[in-house]
């Protein structure tokens, strides 16, 4: 049975610990990237929804309140008061605006987290590499 010198053992254990942390940071980077992509996709959807609501409300604006209006529900259309449709569209647009602001905030936070984690991983790799040269 051979005995590993203490110095070699410490270097090897430090290197293995660095590798374990690197794997952990890489996993965190992957998870954060997936979350960021999901938030960006949801953000695009809300922006589309807001734009559609605003365009539809703009088209309904010049119409008189006596004009018949129908809302699509699945495969059928339901007769509805045009003022109610306008109010609903404005509420939908306002709600989408609030959600957009919240999602932009979340995306900014995730981007910051991602940059911090990447920076930490790079520092860890530099540290492990410099210890390996010694």
pTM: 0.77
The conformation of residue 72, written as its DSSP 8-state character, comes to E
Q: What is the CATH number of the domain that holds 38?
A: 1.10.287.370
The reply to whether 1 falls in a domain is: no
Confidence at residue 8, expressed as pLDDT on a 0 to 100 scale: 63
pLDDT-derived band at 67 (thresholds 50, 70, 90) equals confident
In a domain, 90, yes or no: yes
Cβ partners under 8 Å of residue 65, min gap 6: 81, 82, 83
CA angle 97, 103, 104 (to 5 degrees): 90
Task: List the domain range (segments joined by +) for residue 78.
Answer: 6-133
pLDDT of residue 68: 87
Does a structural domain hold residue 95?
Answer: yes
Domain count, the chain: 1
Specify if 96 maps to a domain: yes
Residue 18 has pLDDT above 80, yes or no: no
């Amino acid at each position: 049975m051979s005995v590993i010198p203490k110095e070699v053992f410490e270097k090897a254990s430090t290197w293995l610990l660095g590798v374990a942390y690197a794997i952990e940071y890489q996993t965190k980077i992957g998870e954060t990237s997936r979350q960021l992509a999901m938030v960006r996709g949801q953000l695009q959807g809300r922006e589309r929804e807001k734009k559609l609501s605003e365009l539809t409300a703009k088209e309904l604006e010049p119409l008189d309140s006596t004009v018949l209006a129908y809302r699509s529900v699945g495969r059928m259309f339901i007769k509805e008061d045009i003022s109610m449709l306008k109010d609903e569209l404005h509420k939908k647009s306002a709600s989408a605006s609030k959600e957009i602001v919240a999602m932009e905030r979340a995306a900014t936070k995730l981007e910051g987290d991602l940059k911090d984690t990447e920076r930490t991983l790079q520092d860890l790799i530099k540290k492990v590499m410099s210890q390996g040269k010694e």
